[in-house]
């Protein structure tokens, strides 16, 4: 009994020490001040929008590649049939093999959003993989983590990656939507008056400053733009 007790005293601490030594170090990709790009240990590319945080291990062990996201990100996942890539946020799991897709864990009204560009995606809550929602390219999912609800739809937003590409495509787009996109991408504080909110615009902007875009909109719609200390007002009398 004494020998057995001595063995246990030696073996148990050794087991925990060994487990901690062999456990991959947790790393963090943090886009605190600006958009940040990075490569994960498996070769997966990730781009984080400002304010997003991605936690991941220094190496992917066993049969899964698990990462944890808070914020907005674009993933280009390196294909590996043996190791699914899983993005975790709250109680939601987004699982892929080799795919390019967008995730926003902090979408409007306490929701999450997933938009699939290529490949396939399975979305489920915690360990309930049997109830997965599957996306095909061009589809999106709106997820309510607190209620464990998911809704699939066709993605009609051509500018969901504008924060990353700096490219906007507007096709008969209401001015109020354009202003919302500009506020999001440039972290601006543009305020629009009701009379011109639903003026329609068709235009493409590629790597132009917010000031340059506003100048084009002003000339096109005969807008009045007033710059204040911390915000900019956009107004006008009618739609041209």
CATH number of the domain that 204 lies in?
3.55.50.30
pLDDT for position 24: 73
> What is the total count of domains within the chain?
2
Beta pairing partners, 133: 123
Q: What is the pTM of this model?
A: 0.86
Q: How many CA atoms lie within 13 A of 144 on its CB side?
A: 6
**Distance in angstroms (rounded) separating the CA atoms of residues 163 and 147:** 29
**Whether residues 39 and 69 fall in one domain:** yes
Q: Do 95 and 124 contact (CB within 8 A), yes or no?
A: yes
- Looking up residue 71, the CATH number of its domain turns out to be 2.60.120.1440
- Write down the H helix ranges in the chain: 2-22, 162-165, 175-186, 210-221
**Whether residues 91 and 177 fall in one domain:** no
Q: Do 3 and 27 contact (CB within 8 A), yes or no?
A: no
**Whether residues 90 and 174 fall in one domain:** no
3-state secondary structure of 135: strand
Q: Do 39 and 48 contact (CB within 8 A), yes or no?
A: no
Which range of residues forms the domain containing residue 61? 25-154
Q: Which of 59, 68, 56 is nearest to 94 (CA)?
A: 68
Which of 154, 186, 212 finishes a domain?
154
3-state secondary structure of 237: coil
Asked if residue 14 is part of any domain, the answer here is no
**Distance in angstroms (rounded) separating the CA atoms of residues 62 and 57:** 12
**Whether residues 134 and 65 fall in one domain:** yes
pLDDT tens by residue, the chain, 240 residues: 566 555 545 545 544 444 444 567 999 999 998 999 999 999 999 999 999 999 999 999 889 999 999 999 999 999 999 999 999 999 999 999 899 999 999 998 999 999 999 999 999 999 899 999 999 999 999 999 999 999 999 999 999 999 999 999 999 999 999 999 999 999 999 999 888 999 999 999 999 999 999 999 999 999 999 999 999 999 998 786
């Amino acid at each position: 009994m004494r020998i057995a007790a001595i063995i246990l005293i030696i073996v148990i601490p050794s087991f925990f020490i060994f487990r901690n030594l062999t456990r991959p170090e947790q790393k963090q990709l943090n886009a605190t001040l600006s958009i940040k790009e990075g490569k994960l240990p498996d070769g997966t590319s990730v781009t984080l929008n400002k304010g997003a945080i991605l936690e991941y291990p220094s190496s992917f062990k066993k049969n899964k590649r698990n990462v944890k996201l808070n914020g907005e990100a674009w993933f280009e996942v390196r294909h590996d049939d043996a190791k699914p890539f899983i993005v975790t946020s709250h109680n939601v799991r987004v699982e892929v093999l080799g795919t390019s897709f967008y995730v926003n864990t902090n979408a409007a009204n306490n929701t999450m959003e997933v938009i699939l560009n290529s490949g396939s995606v399975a979305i489920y809550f915690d360990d309930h993989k049997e109830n997965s929602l599957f996306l095909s390219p061009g589809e999106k999912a709106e997820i309510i983590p607190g209620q464990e609800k998911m809704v699939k739809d066709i993605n009609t937003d051509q500018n969901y990656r504008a924060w990353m590409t700096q490219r906007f495509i507007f096709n008969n787009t209401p001015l109020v939507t354009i202003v919302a996109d500009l506020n999001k991408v440039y972290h601006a504080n543009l305020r629009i008056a009701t009379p011109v909110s639903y003026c329609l615009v068709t235009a493409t902007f590629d790597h132009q400053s917010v000031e340059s875009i506003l100048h084009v909109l002003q000339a096109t719609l005969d807008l009045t733009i007033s710059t204040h200390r911390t915000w900019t007002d956009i107004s006008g009398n009618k739609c041209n």
